[in-house]
Copies of this chain bind each other. A is one copy, B any other.
């Protein structure tokens, strides 16, 4: 069951950190207990429906964060497009700790079940994608151009996280983000 809107943020962030580190199957209630400092039974007090409910609360929380700190600022036409894009890069660099932290999208290998969670993630992805497309069109890209650029950008974000986790090279993610900023700037200057 859904939690009250204001479920303790500290608690949910602790859960978030564990899920993104271990994936869904790899996350055990014991791990969540250690990570939050709460006993298992206390976790079930906050999330009566259990582990899946804990993940859902995390995904809902992340969704709100993404909308608040990424999507809404991207669409704020009071700020210059160039600034909005570089602000977004800064935000996601912090969000992923310069690539040292995983993306939930990447790490959750959800099977047929958990369709609700998958749908929310898909919805967020599309919202982010559309905000980028909007920005692209705003700076003069055609719809197709903007769509391809936006898809490519999000693909690179996810891919860079995978490769950085694999190689341990701490600069992979950052380098790609700098490249994207330069490309965008180059488009603006042409």
Contact = CB atoms under 8 A, between A and B. Distances in A.
B109 A23 contact: yes
A39 B190 CA distance: 64
Given A25-B26, A26-B25, A109-B107, A155 B160 contact: yes
Nearest to A105: B166
Is chain A's binding surface mostly helix, strand, loop or mixed? helix
Given A22-B109, A22-B111, A109-B23, A159 B155 contact: yes
A162 interface: yes
Interface of A: 21-26, 102-103, 105-107, 109, 111, 118, 121-122, 125-126, 148, 151-152, 154-160, 162-163, 166-168, 172, 176, 179
